[in-house]
């Protein structure tokens, strides 16, 4: 009887992949609120990804590209969004809309706080965010005054 009950319970515990993926999504922002990031699992690669968007910046942005097609971004849609996929170099991506608009409450990460999903770790500072793939060493760092891709 006990074995039958355990088997029935286990059969009912099948995890829906869509729900499991939704549970991995983390929203965070710098203490200044100027930079917002989402750590999630990419539906295209099933690997961790960090996406960050800066609201206000003074740096001159380099080339940004559409993450799906690889094409250059339309005028006015470049220079605010950063993407780091596990195992891939970071890049500037097109900014078509607010990052994860309608997501609700954004957790404010304390100065020096790190948040990780798989090998990707983002460290928040008062007005800067650095996201690094600890396996590959690829990263991006963004602040109001500058950004760096590596």
In tens, the pLDDT along 77-135 reads 889 999 999 999 999 998 877 776 666 678 899 999 999 999 999 999 999 999 999 99
Is the pLDDT assigned to residue 54 strictly greater than 50?
yes
pTM over 0.75: yes
Q: Considering only residues 15 and 49, tell me which one the structure prediction assigns the higher pLDDT.
A: 49
pLDDT of residue 103: 61
**Which is nearest to 84 in space by CA: 113, 121, 56?**
121
Chain-wide mean pLDDT for the chain? 83
Identify the three-state secondary structure at position 41: strand
Q: Please, what sign has the CA dihedral across residues 86, 150, 74, 105?
A: positive
């Amino acid at each position: 009887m006990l074995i039958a009950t355990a088997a029935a319970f286990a059969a009912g515990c099948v995890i829906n992949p869509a729900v499991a993926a939704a549970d991995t999504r983390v929203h965070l922002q710098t203490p200044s609120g100027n930079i917002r990031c989402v750590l999630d699992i990419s539906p295209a690669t099933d690997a961790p990804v960090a996406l960050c968007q800066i609201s206000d910046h003074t740096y001159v942005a380099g080339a940004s590209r559409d993450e799906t097609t690889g094409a250059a971004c339309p005028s006015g849609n470049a220079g605010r969004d950063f993407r780091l996929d596990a195992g891939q170099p970071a890049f500037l991506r097109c900014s078509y809309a607010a990052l994860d608009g309608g997501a609700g409450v954004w957790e404010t990460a304390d100065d020096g706080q790190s948040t990780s999903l798989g090998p990707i770790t983002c460290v928040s500072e008062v007005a800067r965010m650095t996201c690094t793939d600890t396996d590959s060493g690829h990263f991006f760092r963004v602040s109001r005054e500058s950004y760096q891709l590596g």
